Structure 1
Amino acid sequence: MPELPEVEALTDFLAEHLTGRRVVRVLPVAVSVLKTYDPPVTAVEGHEVAAVRRYGKFLAIGTDGGPHLVTHLARAGWLQWKDRLPDGPPRPGRGPLALRVALETGEGFDLTEAGTQKRLAVYVVRDPRDVPGIARLGPDPLADGFDLARFAALLKDERRRLKGALRDQSLIAGVGNAYSDEILHAARMSPFKVAASLTGEETERLYTALRTTLTEAVDRSRGVAAGRLKAEKKSGMRVHGRAGEPCPVCGDTVREVSFSDSALQYCPTCQTGGKPLADRRISRLLK
């Protein structure tokens, strides 16, 4: 799933390639992709792109005097830039193409989604905050005003475990499964530690890991072409997606805890005092 750093890089890429250019066609291909009907998707057509902005993991394309085209790429969605779009309209079918945006220059981009679970979402709205997911977002962790005191206030009464708290978009915007693993590894904390139990020193350590991990990922992604962002994300991971490999910090084996639809990865030596966490899916099978 694209998270804050990748969506930030896509925002920069699209701002460079779209701003000042006129949209001539927006073509939904997958039935499930459009989540709004007023304004209609055709309301974007004929307008120049004025700005591209990120809201958490949402990407919003604003037009001059017209509506905003907002997308959330979900777990398996992606954006593919085309220097020259194919001639003729795309054919609906079982392929990954969900929506196409064409510019007057002949350039444009496709939104695609792999797999059978179709969660990629596109909204056409007068204001990005009309999108329910954006309206519910918590603070952006890379915003100038997001300081240690604000972070500590968010966690003070938070009874959930750190892994779940970091992924909650209404608490902190933009962090998903991958970067929550990376942040907790950098902070040397168990994903199962209760957020409200952190000491002052631990809170500061987690805050530093949050900001540093995301900032470094944004810096790595900046300037990378849209088609290479997935590979760039994977190459920068220390523990996420690396179960069975040696931890780059201590050399211990990276372990995994599986859930119904996802998994987390961690280093026992760095994060849990050398104690492996119980894999609940395996534990249920053994009962």
Structure 2
Amino acid sequence: MSSNRNYSPLTIKLLFGSAGGRCSMCKTKIVLNATENDGVAQIGEIAHIIGSSEYGPRGDGNFPEDKLDDYENLILLCPSCHKKIDKQPNSYSPSGLHEIKSNHEKWVDEQLEVSNLEISSKELDRIIKNISSGDYESSFSFEEFEHIDVSDKIDKNDFSNQVKRFLDIGLMKTYEVKSFVTEMDKLDKNFINRLKSFFKVKYLELKEKYDDNDEIFLELWNYIKKDANSFIEEAAALSVLCYMFELCEVFEK
């Protein structure tokens, strides 16, 4: 059994997104915001549930080697917790780690859902102004087009269950996002078109780079929620993304 690491970029994004950028055991944030003296720092570590080596912690010579680096066999941890599970493998069995991972992801979903209820105009203002400040006015001409049902659009884009969970959460708040954007458009008559254009530009840039819609969705969310300091800000960014998913031609219908 090989000990080489071969995580796909999509696997890493799903792992970080589903874990909420936090250690799956102690819930410490593992993506540190930039400071006056340093840039953003990533201190998280990807740990194998079934060991990457047959002779290492939780090693299993019968486990398929080509599945070792799959999302299902990985858990996101801080350095301390990673060391803990590898130093005490009998206390942290594969089944126990799967349960820890599952419970943590459910906790992240719950935090996003609860935070959705607390989103105010302050969070939406910060998120939307940040992404609509560029000069996108003449990038695209938007015409009326026929909307399809959101569930049909989700199915058409073949999202994974993890991304579908995020969409379900974010779509619960799109009415509030729409109300906020509508009010902003009264003050700035080109606001909505500029916002649409921003998303279209970013979407097409990512579509050139990635083939998988999961990866594009997660990259868009990461871009919008950059420097987020709380689940409320992350939930606000998710709701804005889901509103634009519903409103305009990002992710073709």
Q: TM over 0.5: same fold?
A: no
Greater helix share, 1 or 2?
2
Q: Which has the larger strand fraction?
A: 1
